Amino acid sequence: MGKLDGKVAVITGATMGMALATAKLFVQEGAYVFITGRRKEQLDAAVKAIGRNVTGVQGDAGKLADLDHLYEIVKREKGKIDILFASAGRGDLIPIGEITEQHFDEIFGLNVKGTLFTVQKALPLFNDGGSIILNGSIAGRKGFGGFSVYSATKAALRSFARSWTQDLKKRRIRVNVLSPGTIDTAILDPFSPEMKDYFISLIPMNRMGTPEEIATAALFLASSDSSFVTGIDLCVDGGAAQV
């Protein structure tokens, strides 16, 4: 018997990395999962990798019309949501002095506005007692050069979780943030071995995390294992933001 038997989950931006690993684990634990992605080829590959109990919906989480389309499909196929992992997001390395209005609007548009409306538009379908997980980052609590805009968006998500925990308490919907540290995914491919070694040097556990370690943390927040956990920021970072 799986920890998510009979549950319906929505995971945005789940075509690779941590979110894809989470979708795979949720299905293994008995859930039916809807995943989204902007690029059809990557989305189709992710659906194939998950293998069963999954529907892929092409769309951009920063576009409200695409979110409406997503939830129309969820309503038609399953009629409910038990778990939402608002995972879609991005960040670019741009230091102060070089930040453009376009960069600001794109990052806040996806990471903040997109997350807000991903959650809000899901609520009419949400079962009472469900779980909402926001994809944060330790960047939301630390200072990294060049990441001021991205870091600010992740700090905003932490604030959302506090407020939404209060807003949704009568429905017993739990809202938590899952904040990864440095995780060994394809997003790090452009970095040199020396830069990766530097990242590792900042982690007390002396290694990067894996997508599967993020997935197991998401499973904890999604399942009844965390039935008395809400409003938290769960850092899965090997201690990087803790000591």
Would you please indicate which residues are annotated as catalytic (active-site) residues?
150
CA dihedral 241, 85, 62, 103 (to 10 degrees): 10
Which residue in this structure is represented by tokens 């995914």? 185
| All residues at 6 or more sequence positions from 234 whose CB lies less than 8 Å from its CB, including other chains | 176, 177, 178, 179, 217, 220, 221
| 3-state DSSP assignment of residue 85 | strand
d(CA 41, CA 129): 35
Q: Which amino acid is at 78?
A: K
Task: Report helix, strand or coil for 146.
Answer: coil
For residue 89, the 8-state DSSP code is: -
**The residue type at 92:** D
Task: Sort strands 8-11 and 81-86 into parallel, antiparallel or unpaired.
Answer: parallel
Q: Are 85 and 136 in contact (CB under 8 A)?
A: no
Find tokens 């741009």 and name the residue. 94
Q: How far apart are CA 218 and CA 238, in angstroms?
A: 16
